[in-house]
Structure 1
Amino acid sequence: MIVQSPLKKREARPNLRRVPLPDLDSPNPSSNGKRKSAQRVNRTMTRRLQDIKPWKVILGTVILGAFGFLYLTHVFATQRLLEEVQQLESQYNIIRSQHDALQLQYDRMVGPADIYNKAEAAGFINGGPADKVIVIKE
């Protein structure tokens, strides 16, 4: 326990910090500070809105419109290119299927079965498989 003598008085400095007294009407005393900060935010927002000049709004709108126009132009050009690519791809598929059919026909013409048939018609004798064993006599 600390006991202080009534004979010795301390010099107390005045309180320089002004603390507002709480509202008696307010049910929650801690919400008092929140209200003031909200009022400050509202004041700064109204000041910011007042600082916006009409020419800035007009310029922003024109720039936004120009970017929107450029974007839409790009989208339509991309769609046109996509249609061209799809058309060229379908033509390529048709030509590739024709090439494959002609390649198959050519392979049949120069293939071994056709050559053997032409050789027999010309009078050549089939020698059989080429992997016969060669026997050397001593």
Structure 2
Amino acid sequence: MSTAARQLLQSFGALAEADRREVLLELLRNTPETPYEAKKMRNKTSKFREEEVVRVLPGVRDPDFGTNIGGWSGKVGKVERSDDGSWLYMIRLDQATLSAAGDDYAEKCEDENLNFEILFLEEKYLESVDDAGSKEDTFLLA
């Protein structure tokens, strides 16, 4: 590994978790696909689009804290491909979710330099609010 690459890696390690995620997403966005990957993914599209309202499926745990986030909802902000080919969504949580999450969750996020209003989740953990029924479902916080 070159000296420049080592320095870059050290700088990356010093970033806050939220900044690391943004850097990784940008790198993925700018990495050319191999012909095999392009062929494999040609006809596949994400289930949800930007600005679509989605809800977290029951029983799903927050990837950072292990908190039950089933029932949380918000709008899709960005849609990206992860390294394994699955769809990754940046979700801007809605006001009802932020209120239900409470101050303890906000403080945990702040302590870890994470944005309290945003989640990154894979497609398999989400459903469309239109398909899920009423928005007045109970939030599950544990």
Q: TM-score range by the shorter chain?
A: under 0.3
Tell me the TM-score normalized by structure 1: 0.16
Tell me the TM-score normalized by structure 2: 0.16
Larger radius of gyration: 1
* Structure with the bigger percentage of helix: 1
Higher RCO (C-alpha 8 Å, min separation 6):
2
